[in-house]
Amino acid sequence: MLYLSSSASVDGSDSVVHSVPLVLHSKSPSSAASNDRIAISNANSDSIQIIQRPEPLDVDIGQTLTAAIRRFSGVQPTTEKSHGFSNLEDALTQAAVIVRYNAKWLAESEIVALLQCTIDAAATTSTSAELSAAVNLVDTVTVYSLLPSQCLKDVVKFLSQVYYAATRAHKTNKLAQTTWTVLLHLLESHLGDQVVVALLDIFESADETQLESRIGYAQLAGALLIVSENLFEGVNDSEHSTIPSVTLTQLLDTLWPAVVNGTDSVRVAIMETMQTLLLHESAVVDLDAHCSWDLLLEVLEPCITLTPDDPGAKTLVKTLVSRAAHFEERNLPIVANLAIDLNLPLPASLSDAMLPLWEEVLPTRDTPNAFSRLLTKLCRSSQYTSELSTLIDRSAVDIFLRGPGNRYFATFVQTVQNLVIDPATTQDAADVLAQALVMMFRHTVRFPGLQQDLETLFQALCKTSLRCVSAAEAMFSIRADVEGSVYVESGLLSKLFPAHSESTSVSAVMHDASALPLHAWHDAILTVLDGQVEWNVYRCFLEKLPSHLGNHTMFDPRIDFILSVRRKACNLLESGAYPEPPPESGLTKSHVTVALLHILTAALSYHQFLSKNDTLEMVSIFLNIAGSRDYVVSTSCIHALTICCYELPDLMTSYMDDVIDKMSKLVTQRYLAIHVLLFLVGLSRQSKLFHNFQTHDFKKIFGVCGSYLQSIRGTSALDERPSSLPSDQTSSMSAESSDTLPQYVYALAHHTIAFWYLALKPHDRVLKEYITSCLRYTTASGQEIVEDQGLVTIDLMDGVDAAESGVASDADQARFEDLDGRITVLDRLSGLFLLTTETALRTGKTILTVRRATGTMRRVIEASGRSASVRATMEGSEDNFISIFPDDINGRTYGKILVPAPTSLLGSPHAATLPEDPAVQRAIQIFDRTSALDSHKAGVIYIGEGQSTEDEILQNCMGSPDYHEFVLSLGTLTRLKDAAFNTQGLDRMDNADGEHTIVWHNTLTELVFHLPTFMPNNEDVHLNTANKKKHIGNDYVNIVFNNSGSPFAMDTFPSQFNYVYIVITPSARTRFIQTRTQSTETDRKDRFYAVQVLTRAGYPTVSSAAEEKIISGSSLPDYVRNLALNECILSLMWAHREEPGEYPSSWRSRLLQIRRFWERYGDS
């Protein structure tokens, strides 16, 4: 035989050297048989091979070819000769040629053997050339011979296997096309339907062993590709429209064995095929026509369920969800569950359709496992919160409808609780479940007789509060009233049950606290303090725990818990070992520090149960942390020390040296000025705390004030203020508008100096020069200046010294008798004094009235036959005087008045006599009506149980016993009719605003309280409101004694002028009857109140009660009065913040009037 060699392979590779026969003539087997020699060409080869045609009567040709293929394939060992074939590809190629020209001599058994051997050989190879040769041999048998029926299935499997292998790489696409061409030949033949059956049989007859093999999988995957790409109805093009097609229903009917017995790879292949087919509308039409959607789900559900991590599973489920409208209602749960399993969102239509079906597994349907499984699925993703919320709410309602104590309640609560604390449950889902428990708790607590259910929910909320803020907030809303009965604050209930009226609010229902497992709640609180929870929960506990601790009746019998909280808070603050807020919260670690300080401050209210060492440790912590670089932290410490001064006066007395030392060291931090000064000015009103002070202690306080004044003088806000020069009493009065807080610090520093100077013992008055130096400052030009506020402070010190020196006794009741004869009156100016002398010329008796910026005093001077002198000031010597009677030179007859030296800040170079003029007398009368006391006003409002509107509140003509006790402790009960003091607008003529009011005053300050409960009521509700509101509505500061049982709202009394509300709320709520019993039976020191200062938006919040503070009844009046005084000063400055000048005090007003006297009559 003649051969032409070629190195080209079927797939274009150069790895196989083979020979290809070339056909020179002969176009059919019959014509080829008449030639002795033939040459066969191959389209893929550039060379030819000449071979000798076998003898037609060679009966062994089939066996020969089979043996040759078997020899190269390695399927089984053989000793037969190769017959000149060089490799498997060569054997398969020449076998195809021989079959082509000798097919009529091949027996059926030989063809069967040849095909089986070819298929077996192909199974052992992966080269495209050999597979191509095998496919070509099969095609040759199909075209030139009769394909035996018993080989059809194996051939189809083989072709499917090759088709799958060829489609996996781009370079073998030609092999895939060749394979499809072979299949097409079969499909177009009389065997077409049988080929389709054979393809489907691959799925239907699939067994586990077969599908686990590489070949078995390739056959199934290839069959799926052939069907989906070429045979699916609606996909095959018009050119091949005559071949049989496969519908989706037909395919689904055969896939179940493959799904059940196949591997994950098989199922993935099935899912990919289904995804491809479902994109065609023809598939949807077919499924609709044959009602095969349930069959589709039957096949796909296990595929998706068993391979959930495959990306194709999600894609396929998305497609199913998009076709949800085609499914029958009974199939929707399957689609929904598949979507939920793969964390895919449910469209609204599917969600709405699912909820009625899901109700079939509610707990009351006695399907607890099904319900638990469904909840578990919904809880694994944040995408199903809406469905979860609806389902859980319906479940809760369904359980409640079964009545109290039903057998489903505890199981349901336990299921929900377990899911909330399960780490696999998403936070959003946990929040939904927790809200359901809260809703059930709110409902249960509304009714008596549900104690067992309440205990179950209480336990569940204790555990879930460690993860969910809503559960924690619900627990913190639990309060105990004055008798120890537990209730829930109604304000939170209205948010969850808006349909319920407040008349049936949950707060009206009380439960026995002893029956609730409060220890579980205490354990939860202590666990959270350790920081082992999510940040939002930790923050919730930190922020709400101080107020919760203030509810003493809930914790008094459980002091061990309070001790544990105190110990943990102290340890955390000392070690700093507490969690830092996450960056996304926008908070710093100081936020946690402040919260822990608030907790420790609230725990301070239990000091009667604490040892001295415990309370000392708390005070030490406040002192040590004060001065932190963080403003809020230091402020919280100062506020805590303020509470210590009121609640622990005995302890703080011995600790006060350290406190003052700390405050003196804080002067370097200007941002703490207001808070330090507020602390010091409040301390000045608590004489018991500083009775052991030494001179150096007082000096530290004045030094702090001086430092802050120097600091304020350096700010641009107060560059120009009215001031006095030592050598010139006509200083400038110009001023600029200034920022309120620097002005407040400026005024507060002077107030602090004034109050503390009054507290000095006589031997400590040596500090006067030091104080005066603090009030002076030197300008850049070297000029020494004392501002007006400093000047009146110096005037105050001088007046106090003069009064306490014994030379300025009071003579308000002094009067002349008829025997005294004619009275001569002279009004004169000397320095900053307006002196009026009334002299009896017959007896020489004189009544001296000394008017100064900070007060007015009267002296009686009796003629003694020798020169008498009286001091109007301590700022001069014996050489600085004016004669009582001008013509009495040197005062030898009627005496003399010692006045300030010309060089004194209070003195002047000369005195001036005012003319006897009606205008002068009117000006003096106006001066006298300007009180030397710094007079303020504040409203005191009582809110009774359940009251919320101003009409209801202002109709109160009485309050609870503890309210009346509090009011009477604020000051002195004072009659209004013909009152000589500034009543701040209260009627003093006809008792229109009541017969009495409460007034507090000391040497410097006066505070008048407007009390609606003291005012008469009018039958007309609106007129009654108007009459009372004309006072409290115009008060910048109002004190609210809130016994309503609900939080106070800032808009309760709409007003343009109400800046501040100091809200007092009993820490243990008292109902109407209880206020008449419990509040009077309990000692004041054992009653506690929450005090908080609420301010209008934009108003500076600097009070020590800006955060709620817990105060005992014994400390309450003093503390609240101090808050009110401080806020009155600030609010007055705030109201006039757009106006230039300093704090508008009465002292400065009187000073300005004296200056105006000088301007008009100084030359007289």
Residue boundaries of the structural domains of the chain:
1-128, 349-445, 684-804, 811-913, 930-1135
pLDDT of residue 494: 43
pLDDT above 90 for 54: no
pLDDT of residue 348: 84
pLDDT of residue 511: 59
Report strand pairing: 972-975 vs 881-883: unpaired
pLDDT of residue 59: 55
Opening angle at CA 1090, ends 508 and 682, nearest 5: 160
Cα–Cα separations (whole angstroms), residue 321 to 251, 298, 302, 324: 21, 15, 17, 5
pLDDT of residue 466: 95
Over residues 244-264, the mean pLDDT reads: 90
Decide which of 21 and 659 is more confident. 659
- Provide φ and ψ at 696, rounded to 5°: -65, -30
199 DSSP β-pair partners = none
Decide which of 770 and 506 is more confident. 770
pLDDT in tens, 169-212: 777 888 989 999 999 889 888 888 999 999 999 888 888 888 88
pLDDT of residue 714: 62
Over residues 613-631, the mean pLDDT reads: 91
Residue 18: pLDDT band (50, 70, 90) is very low
pLDDT of residue 364: 77
CA neighbours closer than 13 Å in the CB half-sphere of residue 647: 28
pLDDT above 50 for 940: yes
pLDDT of residue 718: 41
Opening angle at CA 753, ends 748 and 754, nearest 5: 95
Report the percent of the chain where pLDDT is more than 70: 86
pLDDT in tens, 790-804: 999 999 999 888 877
When the pLDDT of each residue in the chain is averaged and rounded to a whole number, the result is 83
CA 338 – CA 321 distance, rounded (Å) = 9
Which contacts qualify for 874-878: CB closer than 8 Å, 24 or more apart?
A: 874/798, 874/801, 874/802, 874/805, 875/798, 875/831, 875/900, 875/901, 875/904, 875/905, 875/906, 875/907, 876/900, 876/901, 876/904, 876/907, 877/901
Q: Which helix (H) or strand (E) holds 1027?
A: helix 1021-1032
pLDDT above 90 for 536: yes
Decide which of 419 and 87 is more confident. 419
pLDDT of residue 545: 95
pLDDT of residue 30: 38
- Provide φ and ψ at 887, rounded to 5°: -80, -10
pLDDT above 60 for 899: yes
Residue in 630, 631, 622, 623 with CA at minimum distance from that of residue 604: 622
pLDDT in tens, 458-474: 999 999 999 999 999 99
Residue 884: pLDDT band (50, 70, 90) is confident
pLDDT of residue 812: 54
pLDDT of residue 753: 94
| 391-400, 456-465, 650-659: least confidently modelled range | 391-400
pLDDT of residue 7: 33
pLDDT of residue 670: 83
Cα–Cα separations (whole angstroms), residue 244 to 200, 229, 249, 283, 600: 13, 13, 15, 16, 85
pLDDT above 90 for 83: no
Counting every residue, how long is the chain?
1164
Q: Which residue has tokens 């908080």?
A: 1092
Report whether 855 contacts 872 (CB < 8 A).
no
Residue 38: pLDDT band (50, 70, 90) is very low
Decide which of 1000 and 503 is more confident. 1000
Over residues 602-618, the mean pLDDT reads: 93
Residue 876: pLDDT band (50, 70, 90) is confident
pLDDT of residue 81: 47
- Structure tokens belonging to residue 275: 């995804």
Residue 28: pLDDT band (50, 70, 90) is very low
pLDDT of residue 813: 54
pLDDT of residue 987: 93
pLDDT above 70 for 567: yes
pLDDT above 80 for 1144: no
pTM value? 0.77
CA 1084 – CA 418 distance, rounded (Å) = 46
pLDDT above 50 for 493: no
Over residues 1092-1099, the mean pLDDT reads: 93
Residue 394 CA to its chain's centroid (Å): 29
| 231-240, 700-709, 862-871, 1121-1130: least confidently modelled range | 231-240
Residue in 1029, 937, 1019 with CA at minimum distance from that of residue 983: 937
| 82-96, 281-295, 824-838: least confidently modelled range | 82-96
pLDDT above 60 for 506: no
pLDDT above 70 for 15: no
Amino acid identity of residue 615, one-letter, is: T
Amino acid identity of residue 326, one-letter, is: H
pLDDT above 70 for 1075: no
Decide which of 59 and 135 is more confident. 135
Over residues 499-518, the mean pLDDT reads: 54
pLDDT of residue 725: 36
pLDDT above 60 for 596: yes
CA 265 – CA 97 distance, rounded (Å) = 39
Cα–Cα separations (whole angstroms), residue 370 to 283, 346, 359: 33, 20, 11
What architecture (CATH level 2) is domain 930-1135? 3-Layer(aba) Sandwich (3.40)
Over residues 871-896, the mean pLDDT reads: 83
pLDDT above 60 for 44: no
- Provide φ and ψ at 865, rounded to 5°: 80, 0
pLDDT of residue 514: 62
Over residues 1108-1135, the mean pLDDT reads: 93
Report the percent of the chain where pLDDT is more than 90: 41
pLDDT of residue 1080: 61
pLDDT of residue 1: 31
Q: Which helix (H) or strand (E) holds 643?
A: helix 631-647
pLDDT above 50 for 11: no
